[in-house]
Amino acid sequence: MSENKSANEQSVTSRGYNAGGLVAFPRPDEIVVPLRREEFDILCEGGVGEEKSSRDVYIGGFFGAGAGLVAFLAATDWVATWQPERRWWFLIPFLVLCIMITASVVGACIHQMRLKRISNNSPFSRLRARLLGLFNEARTPDIPVEKLPGSVVKQIDAAVGPKWENVADIFWLGHDLVWTTQKVYGAGPKERIFHGLTQCYHHLSELGLADSIPGRLLSSLKSQVQVMSDAALAQQWRNDFAAKLSQVIQGVSDMAIGEQPGFKSHP
């Protein structure tokens, strides 16, 4: 029994830190992302936005009920109002409007006090003041910024750069570009041309080239075709459009050639 107990204690403490009779476990790794000033301001606005909106609802109710009360009093026939048979027709709406005004004032004051407490004396306000101090702090690079190791730079470049390892997308991108060009030259309808451009842009995006020069040109061509009618696809337009598609093909080709050292286009 004691052997099992010591084995269990060892298995537990091997994953944490043993301090006397206490066992402390390390916290899991967390992902940290940088925060810009405008993003921080948006988060701060969200922290108090609910109280602001609730306060504004009560303020709107106050002005609405107040306007209704003024209109009600202005339209009242004071001579006939205090007659016994008509007295309650005046008192009930008057009391309802007064209650609405009072409730609006109280609700607005409550939410204003909560808003003031959140903004001036709360964990949120203290954290905001601390982060604002960091944002407003004047900083100068007193020491040179250390460069990332070469392996890390390569990993980052690989993560955000073109994905030339997606060989199927490369193959089908070339196929669909040629197919779409044939439809343009061959008097194909708008529907088929747009379908081909959609396929081309899909494979270009999968390669991570959507923001490249060929990618932006292809996106522009796709948007252009989308708003055109079949009657507008004249022969001159088709010739010009096919020339622009050739620019996309040439741009992707130049990028691919740059990724293969020693490439030979001919034997």
According to DSSP, residue 83 is labeled S
As a whole number of angstroms, the distance between CA 86 and CA 81 comes to 6
Per-residue pLDDT, 140: 59
H helix intervals, 161-234: 167-185, 190-206, 213-226
Q: Note the pLDDT of residue 190.
A: 86
Is the per-residue pLDDT at 26 higher than 60? Answer: yes
Confidence band (pLDDT; 50, 70, 90) for 20? low
pLDDT of residue 151: 54
The answer to whether residue 67 scores a pLDDT higher than 60 is yes
Poorest-confidence range of 38-42, 100-104, 113-117, 235-239? 38-42
pTM to 2 decimal places: 0.42
Q: Are 192 and 224 in contact (CB under 8 A)?
A: no
